[in-house]
Structure formats: structure tokens, C-alpha cells
């Protein structure tokens, strides 16, 4: 853009250490693409050597691996075609939603929303300073009463998912099946995160969602302000875990307006750390538990950049993540079918089957 039509940010920031705000889309040169994972290799059983007295060629055993792969590839081919048709319909629906959202996310709407956000930013900054003055031990309350409860949720996730690292060695097909099951879980969780961000940006659209959030924030700020006159400590949770995070989640990038809320009012519960992935602007990475209390929200970005952001998320994150999740699902299904086939081979009827095979295989001398 050549014309700067941003609403003015009246006066300098109230803090020299402003709280974090959303990012502009980053340079494509530093994007980290979604790359495929490779399962560890499982060596086949060591071939049994024929006895030296055996004459002539032995009867070749059935190449079950080859047959299984042939069946699996045919099954995957049919499933891939069905899935491709479903994905095409999903992308068409996503495009329609984005187009509808862009029709109401106009320059005038954007300017009004930024103006309202700046006004609320000053209100919330003053509200934060006022509560900190009335409750000098506000940080101790958060760190000693709230953070331990958040840490319990953090521990639960670590117990369930660890750091997401898959082991490198497998010793049998059940090990490999478990690897694929974990790989599928990881990819499914990533896809769900990306889908939730896309939904926030396209359903019903930035202007509608941000306007509703600004209204909710205005009402919550008024409620907290009322508490400060009676029992200010009761406003700690609503201010620091709901109002400020929600307000900063919809903030414009700092290039448009710098928040007056000090970073000190956002830096606590440090055990709760996420893994940001904001190459397109919105963060589609592993959110902190505090971020998940608010959930994904669109933020105030120039209407001319709206389609750029949505298209980037779709191309760079959603489509690769969806394809990776689908591959993980089909790979797990194929391996599970192979295990079932081998289990059946060793089922209760194997002595009878073996006897029949032996009688057919014995040669006349």
C-alpha cells in the first residue's frame, strides 16, 4: 500500500516494554515446510537355509509382503480418489467462506475496529495498572495459586504426548504399528490446530468475530472495574487470563499500533510454553494452555492482506498437514491389515492347513 490510512495511535506507548502482539506474514525464505516423517526400517526375518541334502529347487514361498502391498495400494488408490473429491469440496467451501468474509471486511470496517481496539487498549492498560496498585501481591496470587493448577495440565500433556519424538528402533510389526499409531496422533493434532485457525479466520470472518470480541472485552473490562471498588483480587483471573490475552489476540501488528499493556502483565506461568508456527502471520503451532483458554482468533490485519494470509495458511500448512494426516491414517490401516493377515496365518487352524500344504509339497523320490 502507498497510502497510510491507519487510525492514529494517540500519544506514545505507556510502556517501554509492550506486550507481544500478532505478527505480519513472514518472509517466505524463513518458512519451515511441513516435511514427511519416515518410519524406522524393520528388517524381514532371516531366511531359513535349506538342508544341504535337498536336491533341486525348493518350492518358492508366497511373497506375502508383495501381495499385501498390492492389495494395500489398490485399497489406498480407491480411498485416495474418494478423499480427493472430499478435499476439493472442502477447499471450494473454504474459498466461498473467505470470499464472503472479505466482502464485509472493508477498509472502513477495519479502520473502525482498529480505532475501537486502540481505545480499549488504553482502558485495559489503565485497568491493569490500577489492579496492580490495589493488589500489590497480584503476581504472587497468579504464580502460587493459578500457575500450579495450569502446571498439572502441563504434566498431563507431557505424560500423554511427551515431546512428540518418535522412537527410532522397531523389532516387530507391533512395534511398527505403535509407531504409526503415534505418528497418526501427532499429525491429527497438528491438522486440528490448523483447521481451528482457518475456521477462526473464515467463519464467519474477521470483522464479525473481532467486533464481537471487542464487545465482550468492553463488557468484561467494565465488570472487572466494578470489582476493583469492592474486592479487586477477584478480578485477577478475568483480567490476566481472559481480558488481556483476548485483547492481544485480536491486536493489530505493532507496525499499526503498539499496545500500552506492559509485557510484565503477560509473563508468568513460564512452565506453560508453546511452539510457535507463525510463518503466515497467525500462529498454527502448539499453543500454550493459556492461549487455548482463549482459542484461535483473527486479528486486525489490513483487508488487502486478508486473502494473502488465508491462502498462505491453506497452501503452506493446511494442505500439507491434511495430506500427511491422511497418509498416516492409510499407512496405519495397511499395517494393521497386514498384522491381521499374519495373525490369521498362525490361527487355530494352522495345523490342518500346514498338513494340507505339506502333503501337496512332498515330492516323489
**Structural domain includes residue 108:** yes
The whole domain housing 152 covers: 89-348
**Structural domain includes residue 341:** yes
pLDDT value at 348 more than 80? yes
> What is the per-residue pLDDT for 81?
75
Least confident piece of the model among 94-98, 311-315, 327-331, 332-336: 94-98
**Structural domain includes residue 94:** yes
Reported as a single tens digit per residue, the pLDDT across 102-153 is: 888 999 999 999 999 999 999 999 999 999 999 999 999 999 999 999 999 9
Average pLDDT along the chain: 87
Using 50, 70 and 90 to split pLDDT, how confident is the model at 67? Answer: very low
> What is the per-residue pLDDT for 80?
74
**How many domains, the chain?**
1
Using 50, 70 and 90 to split pLDDT, how confident is the model at 30? Answer: low
**Structural domain includes residue 291:** yes
> What is the per-residue pLDDT for 32?
80
Mean pLDDT of 185-212: 95
**Structural domain includes residue 141:** yes
> What is the per-residue pLDDT for 26?
63
> What is the per-residue pLDDT for 15?
77
**Structural domain includes residue 190:** yes
Cis-peptide, bond into residue 41, ω within 30° of zero: no
Amino acid at each position: 500500500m502507498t497510502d497510510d490510512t491507519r487510525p492514529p495511535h494517540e500519544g506514545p506507548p505507556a510502556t517501554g516494554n509492550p506486550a507481544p502482539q500478532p505478527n505480519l506474514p513472514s518472509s517466505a525464505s524463513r518458512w519451515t515446510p511441513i516435511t514427511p516423517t519416515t518410519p524406522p526400517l524393520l528388517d524381514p526375518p532371516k531366511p531359513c537355509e535349506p538342508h544341504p541334502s535337498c536336491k533341486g529347487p525348493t518350492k518358492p514361498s508366497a511373497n506375502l509382503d508383495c501381495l499385501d502391498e498390492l492389495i494395500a495400494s489398490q485399497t489406498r488408490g480407491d480411498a485416495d480418489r474418494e478423499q480427493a473429491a472430499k478435499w476439493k469440496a472442502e477447499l471450494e467451501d473454504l474459498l466461498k467462506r473467505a470470499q464472503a468474509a472479505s466482502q464485509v471486511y472493508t477498509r472502513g470496517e477495519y479502520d473502525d475496529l482498529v480505532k475501537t481496539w486502540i481505545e480499549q487498549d488504553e482502558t485495559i492498560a489503565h485497568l491493569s495498572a490500577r489492579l496492580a496498585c490495589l493488589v500489590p501481591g497480584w503476581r504472587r496470587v497468579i504464580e502460587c495459586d493459578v500457575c500450579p493448577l495450569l502446571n498439572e495440565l502441563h504434566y498431563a500433556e507431557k505424560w500423554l504426548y511427551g515431546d512428540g519424538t518418535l522412537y527410532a528402533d522397531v523389532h516387530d510389526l507391533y512395534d511398527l504399528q505403535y509407531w504409526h499409531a503415534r505418528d497418526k496422533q501427532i499429525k491429527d493434532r497438528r491438522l486440528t490446530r490448523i483447521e481451528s485457525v482457518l475456521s477462526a479466520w473464515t467463519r464467519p470472518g474477521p470483522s464479525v468475530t473481532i467486533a464481537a470480541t471487542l464487545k465482550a472485552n468492553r463488557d468484561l473490562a467494565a465488570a472487572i472495574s466494578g470489582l476493583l471498588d469492592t474486592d479487586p483480587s477477584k478480578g485477577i483471573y478475568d483480567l490476566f487470563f481472559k481480558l488481556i490475552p483476548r485483547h492481544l489476540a485480536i491486536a493489530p501488528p505493532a507496525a499499526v499500533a503498539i499496545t500500552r499493556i506492559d509485557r510484565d502483565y503477560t509473563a508468568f506461568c513460564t512452565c506453560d510454553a508453546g511452539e510457535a508456527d507463525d510463518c503466515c502471520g497467525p500462529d498454527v503451532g502448539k499453543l500454550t494452555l493459556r492461549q487455548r483458554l482463549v482459542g484461535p482468533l483473527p486479528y486486525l490485519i489490513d483487508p488487502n492482506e486478508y486473502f494473502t494470509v488465508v491462502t498462505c495458511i491453506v497452501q503452506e500448512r493446511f494442505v500439507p498437514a491434511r495430506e500427511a494426516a491422511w497418509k498416516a491414517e492409510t499407512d496405519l490401516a495397511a499395517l494393521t491389515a497386514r498384522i491381521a493377515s499374519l495373525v490369521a496365518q498362525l490361527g487355530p487352524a494352522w495345523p490342518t492347513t500346514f498338513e494340507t500344504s505339506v502333503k501337496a509339497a512332498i515330492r516323489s523320490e
